[in-house]
Structure 1
């Protein structure tokens, strides 16, 4: 499949894009410029998507994925983020965190990981980790603290539910979790919130997870107070 037949096509994370006949981004002369959603693997020479959307070519040798992505340009080192694994390599993972480039995650940056006992993780898995950004280098994620402990980070259960909320709301919930504690008193659940605007929740019923999503999205839209949100949560559990 050539590049003309790829332009404007809809792609999913991990899809290979037929740009291999074009100059490599590593070639300083007449090179391809990749915008948000696209990644070049220098080892395989392959171009892949790490977001959902349509391939766009606004001008010659410039490509990006046109799709909904949260504004995460304000991410800094130390932020907790939720990512989706788009590829497993020999000793590392490539993870979509909604950034303009895939983040790398070493398979040794999990609690208890060794050469013989690497974690069982693959494409599509949800990762909760801490971000490391070092200048112009590829962003990295780690899933252990300074003591080598997971401290709540790592691979999240596939039975959870992932959705997006505005980045400012996500950061506010991370810093002020009184709403989450109040809702937890009504119905137990697990939750992980990333500074990149992604939320993962797990509860005993699908209805509870949907009710949590509804409450957090409503909070983002209408700035309801805690009592109003608790009432909405209770109504959503029975409606």
Structure 2
């Protein structure tokens, strides 16, 4: 199977070798793949990827976000309608967020949410036939780091490919930056990243470093972080 992975596919390509080699176990199809009758086809251009034991997806430089249940996203509150907030998460439709979807929120103790606020949330409902719904609590009713972001920082948008790269536990970028600077970061699977350094100058430098790292190799990323630390040290 390894010989067939990491190859470029185009929309409409039939992934025939996947079905032939995985007849003994259930195949899990990720983004970019769809089934039609008993065959599997690519519906996005990109590189066919495989993860043990039986997960397949297409790695593509996509900017339009398609909501997926359970994913964490960064949204912007655009409207308040009664007890519901409308949140732009970068998809084709805005998501709804109930005032009760915050830790400790009740009818008497409502969260302080305003239009224009940035919220870090989790997708509770994501269906092509339904409006997306986000919440700022986990399955136990705890915030777990989710909620309104009020501590300054800088929000910017990147490709979904870079976001997946940053969410990898072995991401060299996050480790290299963490060794050089103390900073806060929140990564949304919808291609939005919020970062905050000790100063405005560090915050902007960190955001630029993240954007520049998308097409770099691991050695190039380490070298860039080292140069960045040296350059910022010269301003102190």
What is the TM-score when the length of structure 1 is the normalising length?
0.66
Structure 2 portions without partners, runs of 5+? 1-61
Choose 123-132 or 157-166, whichever is displaced more. 157-166
Provide Cα deviations, 1:189-217, integer angstroms capped at 9, x if missing partner: 11101111101012220111111111111
Query: Aligned residue pairs: how many?
Result: 170
On the 8 A contact 2:126/2:133 being kept in 1, the answer is yes
- Determine if contact 2:78/2:88 at 8 Å carries over to the other structure: yes
Deviates more, 1:225-234 or 1:83-92: 225-234
Name the CA shift for 1:79/1:172 in 2 (closer, same or farther; >3 Å).
same
Answer yes or no: is the 8 Å Cα contact 2:102–2:111 preserved in 1.
Answer: yes
Further displaced range: 199-208 or 222-231: 222-231
Over the residues paired in the alignment, what is the CA RMSD in angstroms? Answer: 1.9
1:91 maps to what in 2? Answer: 83
Any gaps of 5 or more consecutive residues in structure 1? 1-68
- Kindly provide the CA deviation profile for residues 3-41 of structure 1, in whole angstroms up to 9, marking residues without a partner as x: xxxxxxxxxxxxxxxxxxxxxxxxxxxxxxxxxxxxxxx
Match of 2:176 among 173, 182, 199: 182
1:47-67 Cα deviation digits (max 9, x unpaired): xxxxxxxxxxxxxxxxxxxxx
- Asked if 1:81 corresponds to 2:73, the answer is yes
Residues 94-135 of structure 1, C-alpha deviations (whole Å, 9 max, x = no match): 001110010101111011111011110111100101113034
Determine the C-alpha separation between the residues in 2 that align with 1:224 and 1:213. 18
- In structure 2, the residue matched to 1:113 is 105
Query: How many Å apart are 1:181 and its aligned residue?
Result: 3.3
**Which one of the candidate residues 211, 214, 234 is aligned to 2:229?**
234
